[in-house]
Amino acid sequence: MSDRLAGKRALVTGGTSGIGRATAKRFVEEGARVAVTGARASGLAAAKHDLGEAGLTIEADAGVVAAQTTIANAVREAFGGLDIVVINAGIGDFRPIGQWEEADFDRSFAVNLKGPFFLIQALLPLLANPASIVLNGSINAHIGMPNTSIYAATKAGLMSLAETLSGELLPRGVRANVVSPGPIATPFHEKIGMDEAAVKALVAQIPAGRRGVPVEVADAIVFLASEESAFCVGSEIVVDGGMSTL
């Protein structure tokens, strides 16, 4: 590893498992101080062990607007400001369009889009010049996969937000970009009930012949967070083994 993020202060939402946890660990390896959010005490304890003295853990619900101010206040007290924000916390609720209820619709949009928007708003006074915002999107926003209508819509909203944020915040040195994973081997697939047969069917759709691993997405996020990507503004990096393009 190197020190591409030496001295940087970073926040990773949903940093207690999967892509978020791998990203937080990579940030520490690259020299950053890192704060992570999570909804469960057990996950936060494990993340604290990973991050060591460089880490801060914050218990918060990504879908509750008031919690976003709590996150911002905790980061301000610990770090004074931020150089990097990774919007990673999210939920995936997959079902046919006819089976959606309003409360479930609202929860998906609250966690995946509304909460992130108001977190970025709360963090604005803390953002350095320059600063990088990385939003975790998904190839589902592009490919029209059945049963992903609401999830895909929330991720498409994040991708649009990256463009408008860049247009609005770039004059003050803040750029926003998106990393869009395809199928990644994380606890997410287990949470949505995928068994071995379902995973095998999914892998059959991936030209690379396998699911990705969290660190492969984390490495793309490190690039977008670092000054190596200073000319990337409102852009998207797809990490999907060719699933959306071949």
Query: Across residues 142-165, what is the average pLDDT?
Result: 96
Q: pLDDT at position 193, please?
A: 75
Contact residues for 77 (Cβ-Cβ < 8 A; gap 6+): none
pLDDT 10s digits, 96-137:
999 999 999 999 999 999 999 999 999 999 999 999 999 999
Q: Is the predicted pLDDT of residue 142 greater than 80, yes or no?
A: yes
Catalytic residue numbers read 151
- Which pairing describes strands 174-181 and 33-38: parallel, antiparallel, or unpaired? unpaired
Hey, which residues does 38 pair with through a beta bridge? 59
CATH number for the domain whose boundaries are 9-239? 3.40.50.720
Q: Does the model's pTM come out above 0.85?
A: yes
Q: What percent of the chain has pLDDT over 90?
A: 87
Average per-residue pLDDT in the chain?
95
Under 8 Å between Cβ of 234 and 162: yes
Under 8 Å between Cβ of 86 and 176: no
SS3 194: coil
Closest CA relative to residue 19, chosen from 204, 245, 240: 240
Under 8 Å between Cβ of 132 and 85: yes
pLDDT band at 228 (very low <50, low <70, confident <90, very high): very high
Q: Is the predicted pLDDT of residue 29 greater than 90, yes or no?
A: yes
In the block, tokens 């915040």 appear at 169
pLDDT band at 1 (very low <50, low <70, confident <90, very high): low
pLDDT 10s digits, 32-91:
999 999 999 889 998 988 888 878 999 999 999 999 999 999 999 999 999 999 999 999
Q: Is the predicted pLDDT of residue 246 greater than 80, yes or no?
A: no
Query: Across residues 3-11, what is the average pLDDT?
Result: 97
Residue ranges of the domains in the chain? 9-239
